[in-house]
Amino acid sequence: MSDPRWLDWAGLEKSDPKVAEAILGEVNRENTKIELIASENFSSPAVLAALGTPLTNKYAEGYPGKRYYGGCEYVDVVEEIAIERAKQIFGAEHANVQSHSGASANAAAYFAFVKPGDTILGMALAMGGHLTHGHFASFSGQLFNAISYGVSEDTELIDYDEIRDKAKKERPKLLIAGASAYPRKWDFAALRDIAKDVGAIFLVDAAHFIGLVAGGAHDNPVEYADVVTATTHKTLRGPRGAMILCKEEHAAAIDKSVFPGWQGGPMMHSIASKAVAFGEAQTDDFKVYAHQTVTNAQVMAETLTSEGLRIVSGGTDNHLMLVDLRPVGVTGKVAEARLDDVGITVNKNAIPYDPEKPFVASGIRVGTPAITTCGMKEEETRQVATLIATVLKDDSDETKKRVSAEVKELTSRFRPYPEVR
Ligand code: PLP
């Protein structure tokens, strides 16, 4: 095998030192902070190697064997591998691996079934759903008659009776499950039955938990849904991008909606990288990773609770939790900044029925995919949770200094990449 000579880091540093410096700065940041943003993860060197290849040069509009460009014999191989692996991992009849992002996968998947003005029913952003599930700021709220469901105020769990009632009344053409900030299991069977009763297509946006599904640590929505969209860069630990899984009967509509409906040429370097990530997701190591991610989230939730914080819905069944900060008297905005100061990265997040504005928020969202990739287990997760609670309760310089030192020590042992400087 010949040397990948195009990966010329020294050349980049020489020809564009400003960009090279910023890239190294980011790698250094990833290596030296504790990453708890639930939608982020660290891709392996193999996934990164596939991304940085001349496959970025290739136009390949169409699908393997049916392209609008010549010279596609190698990219066809790559895309076929990605498709086959995705189908195998999730037991899907059909996989489209060309979506550039979760938002564009959702757009393509919706438009395979509904048209502007049709009614769609998804989880409200303020309750944990994603912008693309019908929020007015996104195409989904602007083009469709979007109605939403949420969680019940007392249990903070999805209220399936509410969904059933709304679906019966509004007769949506599309029922969307999935969220960006919902820590609990989904009753996919109940939602499938509701969709069936009202004649809706049932779509699960599995962007967040798809890696847990791959590793056997989460129910598989493919068994219930007409179509599943998913990002490849969150728990699945691949490159930034997405895919769509569906039943064979919807394959042609989905493929047509992705290209030429919503996208032009596929990013073949990214598809190669997705194929590598899918290969990694098929290993026993990945199963261990997925289960450990959930265990770590549960340990994090228990420890934060014992430190006096409130976990929305009382815990988590997946890789993330929402922490209600009101018991310690800080807002999400303040907490995010304070934690960043000591090297712990989280995002502020509205909690259900939040009295604060979204930009301030009463909560933070905490996820364990990235720290688990770095090798942290229960003991380190407990330590991280204690550090979070310590800084949230006491922002004295002395405390912040002590916590920063512990963060430094932890990240010297648990970091994603070799040291860059
Ligand atoms: N769907 C869900 C549930 C998400 O959480 C996200 C992103 O966070 C998306 C879709 C959009 O993905 P992307 O940022 O790749 O467009």
The residues spanned by each domain of the chain are: 54-281, 284-413
Examine the pLDDT at 307 and tell me if it is beyond 80.
Answer: yes
User: If pLDDT is split at 50, 70 and 90, which confidence band does 7 have?
Assistant: confident
Ligand 1 atom nearest to CA at 206 = 3
pLDDT computed for residue 106 by the predictor: 98
Cα–ligand 1 centroid distance for 184 (angstroms) = 18
Mutate to test the pocket of ligand 1, among 132, 240, 262 (most ligand atoms within 8 A of CB): 132
Q: Is 231 in the pocket of ligand 1 (CB under 6 A)?
A: yes
User: If pLDDT is split at 50, 70 and 90, which confidence band does 176 have?
Assistant: very high
% of the chain at pLDDT higher than 90: 98
Q: What is the mean pLDDT of the chain?
A: 97
Global pTM? 0.97
pLDDT computed for residue 391 by the predictor: 98
Q: Which of 178, 191, 61 is nearest to 131 (CA)?
A: 178
- DSSP state, 158? B
Strand partners, 62: 67
User: If pLDDT is split at 50, 70 and 90, which confidence band does 417 have?
Assistant: very high
Distance (Å, rounded) from C-alpha 396 to C-alpha 400? 6
pLDDT digits (tens, 9 = 90+) for 199-212: 999 999 999 999 99
In angstroms, the first-to-last Cα distance of the chain is: 30
DSSP secondary structure string, 79-124?
HHHHHHHHHHHHT-SEEE---SSHHHHHHHHHHTT--TT-EEEEE-
Q: In degrees rounded to 5, what are phi and psi of residue 76?
A: -60, -45
User: If pLDDT is split at 50, 70 and 90, which confidence band does 6 have?
Assistant: confident
Ligand 1, atom 13, residue with closest C-alpha? 102
Q: What is the mean pLDDT of residues 236-248?
A: 98
User: If pLDDT is split at 50, 70 and 90, which confidence band does 5 have?
Assistant: confident
pLDDT computed for residue 4 by the predictor: 77
Q: In degrees rounded to 5, what are phi and psi of residue 175?
A: -110, 125
Cα–ligand 1 centroid distance for 212 (angstroms) = 16
% of the chain at pLDDT higher than 70: 99
Contact 208, 180 (CB under 8 A): yes
Cα–ligand 1 centroid distance for 70 (angstroms) = 33
Cα–ligand 1 centroid distance for 78 (angstroms) = 25
Q: How far, in Å, are 295, 318, 377 from residue 291 at the CA level?
A: 6, 9, 11
Amino acid at the residue 212: L
Beta strands in 21-96 (DSSP E): 34-35, 62-63, 66-67, 94-96
pLDDT digits (tens, 9 = 90+) for 23-32: 999 999 999 9
Q: What is the mean pLDDT of residues 224-242?
A: 98
What CATH number does domain 284-413 carry, 2.40.400.10, 3.30.1700.10, 3.40.50.300, 3.90.1150.10?
Answer: 3.90.1150.10
Q: Is 270 in the pocket of ligand 1 (CB under 6 A)?
A: no
Name the more confident of 6 and 159: 159
Cα–ligand 1 centroid distance for 389 (angstroms) = 28
Examine the pLDDT at 164 and tell me if it is beyond 90.
Answer: yes
Q: Does residue 260 have a cis peptide bond before it, meaning omega lies within 30 degrees of 0?
A: yes
Cβ atoms within 10 A of the Cβ of 72, count?
22
Q: Is 138 in the pocket of ligand 1 (CB under 6 A)?
A: no
What are the catalytic residues? 59, 61, 205, 231, 234, 240
pLDDT computed for residue 1 by the predictor: 56
Examine the pLDDT at 3 and tell me if it is beyond 80.
Answer: no
Q: What is the mean pLDDT of residues 247-276?
A: 98
Q: Is 319 in the pocket of ligand 1 (CB under 6 A)?
A: no
pLDDT digits (tens, 9 = 90+) for 291-303: 999 999 999 999 9
- DSSP state, 367? E
The domain made up of 54-281 is a member of CATH 3.40.640.10:
yes
Q: What is the mean pLDDT of residues 314-337?
A: 98
Ligand 1 atom nearest to CA at 242 = 15
Q: What is the maximum span of the chain, computed from C-alpha positions, in angstroms?
A: 64
Please work out, in degrees rounded to the nearest 5, the angle formed at the alpha carbon of residue 182 by the alpha carbons of 180 and 183: 125
Q: Is 207 in the pocket of ligand 1 (CB under 6 A)?
A: yes
pLDDT digits (tens, 9 = 90+) for 86-141: 999 999 999 999 999 999 999 999 999 999 999 999 999 999 999 999 999 999 99
Q: Is 237 in the pocket of ligand 1 (CB under 6 A)?
A: no
Q: Is 101 in the pocket of ligand 1 (CB under 6 A)?
A: yes
